[in-house]
Amino acid sequence: MKLDDSCLQIIQHLDHDPVNPHDLYSSNGFNFSRATFYRRLEHLKQDGLIEWRVGKAKLTEKGLMIRSLLNGGPIPKQYLKDSEGREEEKRTFEMLEKSFRLSEANELKKSIDNGFIYVDYPQTSFILNILMNIAGIEEKAKTNLEKFKLLKEADFNVKLAINHFENCPKQLLIFLEELIKEGKISALYVGVKNERRALANKKLVEFLQTHNFENERFKLPKESVTLFPLFLIAVIGVILILALRSGYQHASILSIMMIVYFMRSMLFRELREL
């Protein structure tokens, strides 16, 4: 089952009461063509989400359940059972609920369907070229920035799966962030092979935290306030007081040297994270 953004828009505007598809398209201002609209109706009919006959279309019970989920309603219990014939519906609801997922590299392909574009390695230029082909962009672009600008202006929607995401460059993270905000990427599944390397990448962890990536394997660090500067001041203050009380004549020089030493350590730590 493939539910892109246009399919979801159609489901949102249908009900159990039949309507004329021509009137439905004319009155709702969809951001895709009429030809695309009728192709999506056919897909929804084949997937059992709508009934469409003799100029009338309406949602089936299955379609109504998906619309309820899209509007924040609960998932009916019968769609969560592992009984025969319910597995497809269960996967559909899970896909709609969880647009962002993090998994192990060898599990990524198992967690996606045919609606995803799979990329084995997060190479910025390669991924942008794929997205340009999907968007039908024929204009030439030399740099990644030029490709990204063309993608921002294009009308497309894609579900993307990227493996070995621990190697994702910062530029690609920025591009993905913007394309998600623009609604160009409706689902992003990523796979990680080297957990230590992934969790050591501050920008990558922030990206995963921002979009609340679902995962069962990895423990993402929670955002926290750094208390090291306060600890540094307290240590220097205690040593300085002890030095002054003991009559050490170079106590003030000692405190300055300690500040320089700790600031140097903090500086090198920040440089390593860049």
Q: Is the pLDDT of residue 84 over 90?
A: no
Q: Residue 175's pLDDT is what?
A: 94
Predicted pLDDT of residue 186:
86
Which CATH architecture fits 99-210?
A: 3-Layer(aba) Sandwich (3.40)
Domain ranges of the chain: 5-91, 99-210, 228-273
pLDDT in tens, 134-186: 889 888 888 999 999 999 999 888 899 999 999 999 999 999 999 988 888 98
Architecture of domain 5-91: Orthogonal Bundle (1.10)
- What pLDDT is attached to residue 274? 46
More confidently predicted of 116 and 212: 116
More confident residue, 98 or 67: 67
Helix 34-46 × helix 21-28 angle, to 10°: 130
Give residues with Cβ within 8 angstroms of 103, minimum separation 6: 111, 189, 190, 191, 192, 215, 216, 217
Mean pLDDT of the chain: 78
The answer to pTM > 0.85 is no
Instruction: Determine the average pLDDT of the residues in 6-19.
Output: 85
pLDDT band at 96 (very low <50, low <70, confident <90, very high): very low
Q: Could you tell me if 109 and 117 are in contact, meaning their C-beta atoms sit under 8 angstroms apart?
A: no
- Which residue is listed with tokens 């090198």? 268
